[in-house]
Chains A and B, each alone.
Chain A
Amino acid sequence: MENIIECRNLTHYYNKRKIYENLSFSVPKGRILGLLGKNGTGKTTSINILSGYLKPKEGECLIFGENIVDMRPELRAKIGLLIEGHVQYDFMNIEQIEKFYSRFYPNWKREAYYELMSRLKVAPKQKISRMSCGQRSQVALGLILAQDPELLILDDFSLGLDPGYRRLFVDYLKEYANSEDKTVFLTSHIIQDMERLIDDCIIMDYGKILTQLPVQHLLDNFRKVSCSLPERYKFEANSDFYNPAQIGNNFEVYTFLPENDIRSYFHNQQIPNDNFRTEILNLEDAFIGLTGKY
């Protein structure tokens, strides 16, 4: 499958603080990929690098096969960018901003923008600065849909939105991306929203990528194992197990292993357990299972 985004060996530091080293990932055409990570793991840094507003210390990024250093205007026209906080020119009103952007894009879809705007209870002359965060998010989304880009890069699209607007944003975006075969690369700190939206995820930890895989694979195969262990029992975890934790007798650990293999492991290691059970997780729990609570 053709890759729309390809980042190779990205390394970035803010002064002496390492954000990540040798980070490589790719986003295939037509997929919605979510970048998941705790605060400070470099999600916004990655978005800034991809949108050309941060020069990585090392490594390169290709979008549509072109190096993004000094992105050509033609390449920028193919990329819809949503800045964290749904930033738009808030000194304009919804008519002015549409008029402004429409001059730059020959295939501007005015009706896509106004269809979304008709759902907002705002006067056409109301300034964006006087709108709620949710309304601003719809303006930003409407402008991206009207631009009709081939690739959408969205930084923390759920920031500041109430559940209704988050759902509206996700539903519109998913419908648009699927029907038009668009590629989307996004981040959000609210992982429940991602579960409804994304096809693939990259889970980042401090300085590295923990995993990149289809969300369905993660949801189908990643498990939480819970059981009772003797107090202060030292669980010897190999690389198949993530983030073992014990509070009192209650023990939990996460793994991609099938249930039978987990049981065999416990048996072979002679782990004195009780109340053994496994459970399939939602995306948020799987994220915590992979990255840990702290």
Chain B
Amino acid sequence: MIKAIFYKEWIKTKWIFILSALALFGFASYLIFNVYRMIELKGAVHIWEVMIQRDVLFIDMIRFVPPVIGILFAITQFVPEMQRKCLKLTLHLPCDAQKIILSMVGYGAVMLLLLFSATLACFYVNLRIILVEQIANHIILSAVVWFLSGILAYLLTAWCVLEPTWKRRILNAVVSILLVKIFFYNVAGEAYNSFLPILLLYTAMASSFVFLSVSRFKEGKQD
């Protein structure tokens, strides 16, 4: 069952997956190249000094890219289900409906996790060539929260898209914006470190929101 669901989800999302991978690779390459270029121009000592004393991360330009990717991924995956109420077909499959929805959301989360982990790994490997471990760790730990916001944005967008009524969908969207905004209150490096387990829990809990929308869809709620 899971294989078949993943197959369907892959057909819907393969292009957005490839485009997201290219976008992340492009951004990551540009930012890494930029750090290398600055080292070339001003010397590594100067760059280290700026990073440590002024808390400059050099890769913070990418921070809004994960939530944008999360939103686009959820739209690409779930809008086709809501067009002409195709979700009825999915929920009519002879399997536990909750397992089907969980597989769909799980697929999206896993794909994003793959993309985001690969990007973070790419940053880490390249930064470690020119930076000491502590500074590279500092950058990666600061960036984790932005990538986590991408997963949350994906889950919340799925919640909004699967909601059957426009009134509630708008309300969900407002709540979602406020929830994602929490991840961007503080731009300082590692500002969320102690808060990270709570954000993780918070993201995991958001995966249950889609079940509310699906349950309302099954009850036939409409505007």
Contacts and interface: CB of A to CB of B under 8 A. Distances in A.
**Is A bound to B?**
yes
A103 B218 contact: no
A104 B3 CA distance: 11
B92 A99 contact: no
Contacts of A54: 219-220
A104 B91 CA distance: 12
B94 A104 contact: yes
Q: Chain A interface: which size bin? A: 20 to 34
A79 interface: yes
B8 A89 contact: yes
Contacts of B219: 54-55
A105 B94 contact: yes
A103 B3 contact: yes
Contacts, number: 70
B26 interface: no
Contact of B220 (A48, A99, A104): A48
A105 B4 CA distance: 12
A208 interface: no
27 contacts: A51-B92, A52-B91, A53-B91, A53-B218, A53-B220, A54-B220, A55-B220, A73-B93, A76-B92, A76-B94, A77-B94, A79-B92, A81-B88, A83-B85, A85-B84, A87-B84, A87-B86, A87-B88, A88-B89, A89-B8, A89-B86, A90-B80, A96-B11, A100-B7, A103-B1, A103-B7, A105-B94
Interface of B: 1, 3-4, 7-8, 11-12, 80, 83-86, 88-89, 91-96, 217-220, 222
Given A53-B88, A73-B95, A100-B4, 13 more contacts: A53-B91, A53-B218, A53-B220, A74-B94, A83-B85, A83-B88, A87-B86, A88-B89, A89-B86, A90-B80, A104-B1, A104-B4, A104-B95
